[in-house]
Amino acid sequence: MGGKRANPIDKYVGNRVLMRRIMLAMNQRELGEAIGVTGQQIQKYESGVTRIVASRLYDLAQALKVQAEYFFEGAPQSDKIKPLPNPPGLEFLDKFPDAVEDYTLVRCFLRIKDRQMKRHIVALVQCLANNQ
């Protein structure tokens, strides 16, 4: 692309694809297979380097179990007014080097109903973290 910068809207939509993929604990290869492209192509979509055409956006919405509108939620009305922010939640995920594993751990922990078991798990994790 010879130094051409990604369009802010393409980058925003790509970030939303990334965030949803992580929420579903999918890797780029799995998402690519679900819509008939390579994992490398998914990486290009997520970074905003490659624009996502309407039919592919529809495929992504189906694979990620969201409506197509999801990819535009929170985007400002015009990119000419101000720079686009990262999607809500993405900054939080960026703070964790192993975001997929972190999110999976939290998601599984939230499904545990036994309060005593949750306390034991928290104590175990705290013990492990302190011994590093």
Specify whether 65 is located in the same domain as 116.
Answer: no
Whether residues 109 and 91 share a domain: the answer is no
Q: How many CB atoms lie within 10 A of CB 79?
A: 14
Q: Do 57 and 68 form a contact (C-beta atoms < 8 A)?
A: yes
Domain total in the chain: 2
**pLDDT at residue 43, as a whole number:** 95
What is 8-53 written as a DSSP string?
HHHHHHHHHHHHHHHHTT--HHHHHHHHTS-HHHHHHHHHTSSPPP
Q: Which domain holds residue 50?
A: 1-95
Same domain flag for 83 and 36: yes
98 three-class SS = coil
| Same domain flag for 13 and 72 | yes
* pLDDT per position as a tens digit, 10-53: 888 998 999 899 888 899 999 999 999 999 999 999 988 999 99
The answer on 70 and 17 residing in a single domain is: yes
Q: What is the DSSP letter of 71?
A: G
Same domain assignment for residues 127 and 67: no
Is pTM, for the whole model, over 0.85?
no
Evaluate if residue 107 carries a pLDDT over 70.
yes
Same domain, 104 and 77: no
pLDDT at residue number 82: 57
| Whether residues 14 and 39 fall in one domain | yes
Residues 47, 76, single domain; the answer is yes
| pLDDT tens digits along 67-104 | 999 898 877 665 554 555 555 555 555 555 556 667 77
Indicate whether 59 and 105 sit together in one domain. no
- φ/ψ bin of 47: left (φ > 0), alpha (ψ from -120 to 50), beta (otherwise): alpha
